[in-house]
């Protein structure tokens, strides 16, 4: 099977630009060039995040050998070495592409499909089945649980490589650092840190078409995900190990609340944040 020869440690703006320009994509040259500049300079969803997800994928692979064996068997029953090479390339390119469309103007709701469609730019350097597998890894990578998006676990996420990648993307940094990453994203988009006028129904309405959100609401996604939201026992257990850091993440959010202001410019009572995070939704769970 033909796979891309360039690895994540070798990829750069010039290489991605050449691939994007050779593909039939709905983006102009100026948008592509600016988007790639932003992608390589951005730390919350850009190339730095891609590298963090890649490193986390390697950890997940180490801790989930049965899931990995299942993935390799599905790729190539006849050759373990060939399957490993294909799987490694799939993971690396999923890390590179999964959030790239965000830098071409696609938002939280749209970027999964848009980034999955970017796999088409590999058609000249990779086998069609490789491109299709890569598409399936990316298309639902931001799935959380039925409350978000109002759907059960998509069938495509039962693919072991998709599960490994989704877990790595959700846990690319320790919980405290993931909070900081979400916080920086909120600053970039000028999202208010805390809107006390949101009632609990609005604050925790996670359907994709719901736009009323403060930074606390986005950070809650880190905490509400649980082990049971993963399909395989090993990946669920690995999420549980990561989730042990959620208490430190809660303390970090309360520290941010002490230095932030609410949407009306008033000081925030950390106890109010704590009540939302703990009393009402008991989010410190694995």
- In this prediction, residue 137 carries a pLDDT of 96
- In this prediction, residue 280 carries a pLDDT of 47
CATH 1.10.3210 fits 1-172, yes or no: yes
DSSP for 174-231? -HHHHHHHHHHHHHHTT--S--TT--HHHHT---TT-----HHHHHHHHHH--GGGSS
- In this prediction, residue 212 carries a pLDDT of 60
The CA-based diameter of the chain, rounded to the nearest angstrom, is: 64
- In this prediction, residue 284 carries a pLDDT of 47
CB 166 within 8 A of CB 140: yes
Domain ranges (residues) in the chain: 1-172, 173-286
- In this prediction, residue 73 carries a pLDDT of 93
CB 8 within 8 A of CB 54: yes
Q: How far is CA 114 from CA 103, 107, 140, 251, in A?
A: 11, 10, 11, 35
- In this prediction, residue 211 carries a pLDDT of 53
- In this prediction, residue 126 carries a pLDDT of 96
**What is the model's pTM?**
0.89
- In this prediction, residue 43 carries a pLDDT of 87
- In this prediction, residue 149 carries a pLDDT of 54
- Which residue ranges in the chain fall short of pLDDT 70? 145-155, 157, 201, 204-212, 279-286
CB 186 within 8 A of CB 253: no
- In this prediction, residue 220 carries a pLDDT of 83
- In this prediction, residue 57 carries a pLDDT of 98
């Amino acid at each position: 099977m033909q796979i891309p020869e360039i690895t994540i440690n070798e990829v750069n703006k010039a290489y991605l630009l050449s691939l994007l320009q050779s593909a039939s994509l709905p983006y102009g040259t100026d948008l592509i060039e600016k988007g790639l500049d932003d992608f390589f300079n951005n730390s919350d969803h850009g190339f730095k995040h891609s590298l963090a997800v890649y490193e986390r994928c390697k950890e997940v692979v180490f801790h989930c050998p049965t899931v990995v064996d299942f993935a390799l068997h599905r790729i190539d029953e006849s050759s373990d070495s060939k399957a490993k090479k294909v799987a490694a390339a799939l993971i690396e390119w999923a890390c590179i592409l999964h959030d790239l469309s965000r830098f071409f103007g696609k938002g939280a709701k749209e970027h999964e499909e848009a980034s999955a469609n970017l796999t088409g730019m590999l058609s000249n350097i990779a086998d069609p089945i490789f491109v299709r597998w890569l598409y399936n890894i990316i298309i639902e990578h931001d799935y959380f649980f039925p409350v978000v998006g109002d759907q059960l676990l998509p069938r495509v996420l039962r693919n072991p490589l998709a599960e490994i990648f989704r877990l790595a993307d959700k846990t690319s940094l320790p919980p405290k650092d993931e909070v900081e990453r979400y916080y920086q994203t909120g600053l970039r988009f000028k999202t208010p840190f805390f809107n006390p006028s949101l009632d609990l129904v609005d604050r925790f309405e996670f359907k994709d078409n719901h736009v009323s959100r403060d930074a606390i609401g986005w950070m809650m996604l880190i905490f509400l995900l649980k082990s049971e939201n993963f399909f395989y026992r090993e990946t669920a257990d690995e999420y549980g190990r990561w989730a042990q850091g959620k208490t430190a993440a809660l303390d970090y959010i309360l520290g941010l609340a002490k230095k932030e202001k609410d949407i009306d410019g008033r000081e925030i009572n950390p106890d109010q944040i704590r009540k939302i995070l703990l009393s009402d939704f008991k989010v410190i769970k694995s």
